[in-house]
Amino acid sequence: MIHSLGLDIGGANLKISYVSSDEKKIKYKKIITRYFPIWRRGKNRLLPTLRETLSYLPFKKYDIIAVTMTAELSDIYFDKKEGVNHILDTLVKIFPEDAIKVLNVRGELLPVDDARRKYIEVASANWYATGWFTSKLAKNAIIIDIGSTTTSIIVVHNGIVYAKGLNDLEKLRYGELVYTGALRTNLAAIVHEVPYKDEMIPISSEYFAQSADINLILGNISEEQYIVDTPDGRGTSYEECLARIARVICGDLNILTEEDIIEIAKYIYNQQVKQVIKGLERLIRNITFNIKEYKAYLAGIGGSFLGREALEKVGFKNIYELERYIGYDASAALPSYALAVMGIEYYKKGV
């Protein structure tokens, strides 16, 4: 049996997937997503939080720990170099250094020393694991992974992960990364105005409400799926979400009706779908093959609604939810799960 851990150290969430497998197939898996906004909790909390989260796993010994990260972009670090090094410093305090392998943007699993030297190519490489996993499902495919904060769009072409951008800046440029997510996106970063009483009203620029408020009101997510902090520190009930959205035009529940707020929520949701569509269009503009004929997969907490709507509107026809194959937990934490599986393949080849 091979015991593999996949770690995705994100800026907002820690995602940990444990997979054990014999020579033929996966025998057991356990996935944990832990909300950990590193810029708020502080980088020194990373070590104890990781330790505590790992304690929830039923197994303590791993043959390989495959790691990817996006937390290095957080402004708790001055630059990516500081971020990558601090995250690796933390991991070597928990795991034997030899067992840690760090994913880079070409799909290689690097030893820690190498990863430190090549910090630019291990920064925000998590999308590669998602693409690699998708390539096991179809020779030609596209996958949209919509998490709490961001949307990744990855193409598989002739069995190979096909990416134009190799860092976040390039990915924004080529439509492979859209900085919009199902939970944490500030509504003021999605729209500048909203409908109210038959006209468009400019909105407040404060962080009064986020995409989770919209998605809860519209029934796209449940209260259990609202796993991030609320902007006002209040709860995640239907009424509290309504109140946050009302404040976006400086209103409250004494001034706006439920219907007013639902109309605003629907408008903002549609604009967020358009953000994903714009990303898809940007991506399609830069490739020559007819990707709309490819199989399209959905992952992440926002895949089944935001991702599906965007793909359908752009003209994709064969759309599949990854959840059906690997379960909701693995789909919602896809890069970490994909990486744990990748770790098993790597370990098999190595021995």
Q: How far is the CB of 257 from its own copies (least distance, A)?
A: 13
Give the one residue of 255, 313, 324, 327 binding its own copies; rule: CB under 8 A: 255
- What are the strands of the beta sheet with 64-69, ordered from one edge? 26-35, 13-21, 2-9, 64-69, 100-103, 109-110
At CA 105, angle to CA 103 and CA 108, rounded to 5? 45
Scanning residues 7 to 36, which ones bind its own copies (CB under 8 A)? none
Q: How many angstroms separate the CA atoms of 269 and 306, rounded?
A: 8
Q: How far is the CB of 85 from its own copies (least distance, A)?
A: 14
- Contact by Cβ (8 Å): 2, 347: yes
With binding defined as CB under 8 A, does residue 186 bind its own copies? yes
Q: What's the count of helices (H) and strands (E) in the chain, helices before strands?
A: 14, 14
Specify the DSSP element, H or E, that contains 266. helix 258-285
Give the one residue of 26, 32, 253, 287 binding its own copies; rule: CB under 8 A: 253
Our CB check for its own copies shows the closer of 172 and 262 to be 172
With binding defined as CB under 8 A, does residue 274 bind its own copies? no
Give the one residue of 75, 223, 258, 281 binding its own copies; rule: CB under 8 A: 75
Over the window 196 to 215, marking each residue x when it contacts its own copies by CB under 8 A and - when it does not, the resulting string is: x--x-xxxxxxxx-------
**Span of 53-61, 164-172, 328-336, 339-347 interacting with its own copies by CB under 8 A:** 164-172
Give the one residue of 73, 99, 287, 319 binding its own copies; rule: CB under 8 A: 73
96, with CB counted inside 10 A (0-12, 13-18, 19+), is: exposed
Our CB check for its own copies shows the closer of 2 and 256 to be 256
Quick one: tokens of 256? 């706006």
Scanning residues 98 to 157, which ones bind its own copies (CB under 8 A)? 120, 124, 149
Our CB check for its own copies shows the closer of 64 and 217 to be 217
With binding defined as CB under 8 A, does residue 278 bind its own copies? yes
Our CB check for its own copies shows the closer of 5 and 69 to be 69
- 3-state class of 270 per DSSP? helix
Scanning residues 285 to 314, which ones bind its own copies (CB under 8 A)? none
**Span of 18-26, 50-58, 71-79, 332-340 interacting with its own copies by CB under 8 A:** 71-79
Give the one residue of 80, 86, 101, 308 binding its own copies; rule: CB under 8 A: 80
CA distances to 87, 106, 123, 215, 295 from 298, rounded to whole Å, are 29, 22, 24, 17, 10
Quick one: tokens of 200? 């468009």
- Contact by Cβ (8 Å): 105, 119: no
Our CB check for its own copies shows the closer of 279 and 302 to be 279
Q: How far is the CB of 228 from its own copies (least distance, A)?
A: 13
**DSSP letters along 58-113, please?**
S----SEEEEEESGGGSTTSSSHHHHHHHHHHHHHTTS-GGGEEEE-TTS-EE-HH
**Span of 50-58, 105-113, 134-142, 193-201 interacting with its own copies by CB under 8 A:** 193-201
251-288 exposure pattern, b = at least 16 Cβ within 10 A, e = fewer: beeeebeeebbebbbebbbebbbbbbbebbebbbeeee
Our CB check for its own copies shows the closer of 224 and 259 to be 259
Number of residues binding to its own copies, judged by CB under 8 A: 53
DSSP state letter for 210: B
Q: What are phi and psi of 27, to 5 degrees?
A: -100, -30
Our CB check for its own copies shows the closer of 107 and 195 to be 195
Q: Which residue ranges make up the site for its own copies (CB under 8 A)?
A: 39, 73, 75-76, 78-81, 120, 124, 149, 167-169, 172-173, 177-181, 185-186, 188-190, 192, 196, 199, 201-208, 231-232, 234, 243-244, 247, 249-255, 278-279, 282
